[in-house]
Chains A and B, each alone.
Chain A
């Protein structure tokens, strides 16, 4: 068994087994198979031979003085094939070391059952294997553990006991929640909004990841110390020893109780091993991609990298909820709770499970999986039914979903290539899924040594920012990027930084300041900026900060507007004043986050919804199949008709909303009179103070000021409004209020804010809103 220990990583068996197993997710259990074969062989020995074998590990009982702890064959076997060629030693054969007969060594076994003998023999085989391992092993830490286990098993054979690993290691489980629970929570947390099919995909990926982890060989403590200098080597060593004793060695050594890595370890181990394991896993899949079955290939090559990146964020993120002992999905996601409640009982069982070489992920999966699928579908549907009561039946939606997700229904590459109306972040999202780009939140730290890669990325970020923001002094950028209070969401492509958003969180003030934001010039207009900001939004939702503030310069305003920022600031000034860096000539902008929106998937979700609606409309249209002639009444001078009087509209299922019905005045004459009365009052009011301030013209008439029309795009005044009213233009109160508001806005826009005009406008505004309420046109 020349299995190279730990140099080439991979699920055991892939390295040297003859099983020819090509699927990396299905480890060929070679060492294990070998051991069990050997055991079967030994157990088939005649009893005499068995006794001889056990005698080697049994103390001499000739008299109390004899300290010999194992019978030694006086005719040492030649190196080759001892079992087959050697004659069975007789019970009278004397021990080479103490001189007492073999019988004296095995006397205690006389009345022992065959089962117990076989159990002891199993241990003998395992001891012999361990002995080999001790010899072959080059790593000192590992060697020590092997040797300890070797001694432990020997002692057990001697005393006919059962091996228990004792000492400071503690007993499993070592951390709660365990890795499996955490990863399943992660799937729940991140993907529960997806369609059942996609969610199932993610679930399968998580299962595969867990399985790989269970059979993954960890790096030795010395390798670990070399790689991750800043991290705690001693803690890892403890975990590593535990893993050897409880998970790894028992895989091929069934005398020891075996536990699954993902069941007994938790976040701390995953933290120490994730980066390396992830790299090795992806590398392995990449190398072996041709051997993967085709249906798995796409799954692994397109979804797995992104899956792992997202998982990484949760593993290293400070406040990730997936590791909470009492993790549940937020109540708002009520519809998705189904699988959660079904999953948890399956995953918390901490007992040693699945012994022996029969572990096959593909076959063991459905045992748990099938149980799960049905209730999940049911609960999901139930929940949906409650949420959209009275709406389109779920079966119909599902049916439509099937048609739009059917890959065969797509029209070939042409459409996807020329998707002129694809969402801005569509490409970026795809690239992330394929692992072409990655997103990482990184920052400098003064308390602990940052690792080399992070520092390199920070330098990369500093370069991108200073290149793209030439007006910012380079020293200033450097200072902030490397400031431990600032963090940066870095966009990585081919291992290099191509963009990022530097930000500072103020958890006590309930907002985050966006400090720098840039994408390197030759990677622009690819949707990376949008995707970056969406990732930042999701990161903040996780950290319970729901406001972004930023000072945007003139070039940045457009970008921030597209990302949902406005100039309308809702955070009270007292909360940010003195916290945020103020820039001259820049505009303060704010973005409020909604924790219920999965931002990185938002445009995708909306696109889906549109598709569904479109399909539903098409269905409805094909059902109704009746064509009405167009309306002619408008040509005849009618200004407005009630929607419900349009022929055929009721057949489509349209219903007037109860709210609108009550609010809008039905009688046009009544509305006319109210508005006429109102306008008259406003004009009187305006005249009283306008004459005083001698500014009648601005408010009542379009000004004669030469630049007025350049600045004011939609001129309106009270006189024009009077004319419009006469012409019966105001068929709804909405039109009237809009014009009135425009009068005020125009005045404010044209005149300086502290001018008399603006003061008048404000007074007038208050007055007419008061009047509107009074006449019942708007709610109080």
Chain B
């Protein structure tokens, strides 16, 4: 039942989103008209070569309208973004529900494991569709936007992706990409699942072994301070794997949709670092330990 209602809700949301997009276009055409007026007024003023009070009042009016238009458009766009976020969270809820059902239902035949390539594509898509944080003027980016860490008392929700430090079979410690199953407030421990279906394992880990992944991308054009800077030590997901490794930032993303370029610590290269590789904002987190292994 719950699944069905989620479906209808998503369909509703999509319809609303569709309408919002149409509205945006209307809003935009309107403001364009006004902007054109502003431009024309400026041109006319130029030819007359003086600023008469008439023009001053006219311009003030025009600019006020333009600002109002822009704000209206902006609010519709934000509204649309909220809809998208809502759709995404519904999908996420459904996914978690389906997963739980899968876990507790032993009578079903074992689920077919995903092909690794598919998992990698999913991870890339999840990085690509991570929402970009768009603040209001003067607002500073919140925790979990780009490089800004979560607050110390933050508890990751069920289904959130995290970097988790686990003991591998050979006893080595390793940072893996994992998904939160639950958090116990009494023991302060997380239960997480390895994202990799091949090594399907559940780990119980203390808080300090968990680093939540960013939930927004930071925009380099407006919030560069929310990005890691060149030469900063980070943990980054090695391309086409599900493990985080220590790396130095080579270049931060130049544009919102771009990736970091990082140099992984890799002793098999003469200088100890891999050539620059691209890693999405979603999969780069701060590295706490600064001592070299």
Contact = CB atoms under 8 A, between A and B. Distances in A.
A715 interface: no
Interface string A514-526: 0000000111111
A522 B268 contact: no
Contacts of B77: none
A522 B238 contact: yes
B54 to A, nearest CB: 43
Interface string B121-160: 1100100000000000000000000000000000000000
Contacts of B277: 522
A418 B240 contact: no
A424 B114 CA distance: 12
A417 B121 CA distance: 8
Interface string A410-443: 0000000111101010010000000000000000
A424 B115 contact: yes
A523 B124 CA distance: 13
Secondary structure of the A contact surface, majority rule: loop
Interface range on chain A: under 10, 10 to 19, 20 to 34, or 35 or more?
10 to 19
B238 A467 contact: no
B120 interface: yes
Contacts of A524: 240
Given A417-B125, A467-B268, A521 B240 contact: yes
B129 to A, nearest CB: 10
A525 B125 contact: no
A521 to B, nearest CB: 7
B103 to A, nearest CB: 19
B240 A525 contact: yes
A427 B117 contact: yes
B168 interface: no
Interface string A711-739: 00000000000000000000000000000
Nearest to B269: A467
A526 B118 contact: no
Interface string A525-554: 111000000000000000000000000000
Contacts of B272: none
B242 to A, nearest CB: 10
Contact of A522 (B116, B121, B122, B239): B239
A294 interface: no
A585 interface: no
Nearest to B275: A522
B240 A422 contact: no
B181 to A, nearest CB: 22
Contact of B240 (A420, A427, A523): A523
Given A417-B125, A418-B122, A521 B117 contact: no
A527 B117 contact: yes
A572 interface: no
Given A522-B239, A522-B240, A422 B118 contact: yes
Contacts of A752: none
A470 B268 contact: yes
Which residue of A417, A470, A522 has the most chain B CB atoms within 10 A of its CB atom? A522
Contacts of B120: 525-526
Contact of A420 (B115, B125, B239, B268): B115
A427 B268 CA distance: 29
Contacts of B116: 525
Contacts of A424: 115, 117
Contacts of B114: 420
Nearest to A428: B117
Which residue of B120, B122, B239 has the most chain A CB atoms within 10 A of its CB atom? B239
Interface in B101-120: 114-118, 120
A2 to B, nearest CB: 38
Which residue of A418, A467, A521 has the most chain B CB atoms within 10 A of its CB atom? A521
Contacts of A525: 116-117, 120, 240
A431 to B, nearest CB: 13
Nearest to A418: B122
A47 B129 CA distance: 78
Contacts of A419: 118
A635 to B, nearest CB: 19
A260 to B, nearest CB: 46
A419 B118 CA distance: 8
A712 B122 CA distance: 39
Contacts of B238: 521-522
A245 to B, nearest CB: 51
A328 B238 CA distance: 49
A418 B239 CA distance: 19
Contacts of A427: 117, 121
Nearest to B264: A522
Contacts of B240: 521-526
Contacts of B122: 418
A420 B118 contact: yes
Contacts of B117: 424, 427, 525-527
Contacts of B115: 420, 424
A525 B242 CA distance: 12
A522 B269 CA distance: 15
Interface in A463-514: 467, 470
Interface in B227-260: 238-241
A553 to B, nearest CB: 18
Nearest to A527: B117
A126 to B, nearest CB: 54
Contacts of A467: 268
Contacts of B125: 417-418
A443 B13 CA distance: 58
Interface string B175-199: 0000000000000000000000000
Interface in A87-121: none
Contacts of B121: 417, 427
A625 to B, nearest CB: 27
B240 to A, nearest CB: 5
A150 B114 CA distance: 72
B266 to A, nearest CB: 9
Which residue of A420, A427, A467, A523 has the most chain B CB atoms within 10 A of its CB atom? A420
A690 B125 CA distance: 63
B119 to A, nearest CB: 8
B245 to A, nearest CB: 11
Interface string A378-420: 0000000000000000000000000000000000000001111
A470 to B, nearest CB: 7
A288 B241 CA distance: 38
A521 B243 CA distance: 13
A419 B122 CA distance: 10
Contacts of A527: 117
A427 B241 CA distance: 17
A525 B241 CA distance: 9
Contacts of B241: 521
A704 B225 CA distance: 70
Interface in B251-293: 268, 277
A413 to B, nearest CB: 10
A419 B116 CA distance: 13
Nearest to A523: B240
A290 B174 CA distance: 49
A105 B121 CA distance: 83
B287 to A, nearest CB: 19
Nearest to B114: A420
Contacts of A420: 114-115, 118
A427 to B, nearest CB: 7
B115 to A, nearest CB: 7
B128 to A, nearest CB: 10
A420 B118 CA distance: 6
A562 to B, nearest CB: 11
A405 B117 CA distance: 25
Q: Which 4 A-B pairs have the closest CB atoms?
A: A522-B239, A525-B117, A525-B116, A524-B240
6 contacts: A422-B118, A424-B117, A467-B268, A521-B239, A522-B239, A526-B117
Given A418-B122, A521-B241, A522-B240, 12 more contacts: A419-B118, A420-B115, A427-B117, A467-B268, A521-B238, A521-B239, A521-B240, A522-B238, A522-B277, A523-B240, A524-B240, A525-B120
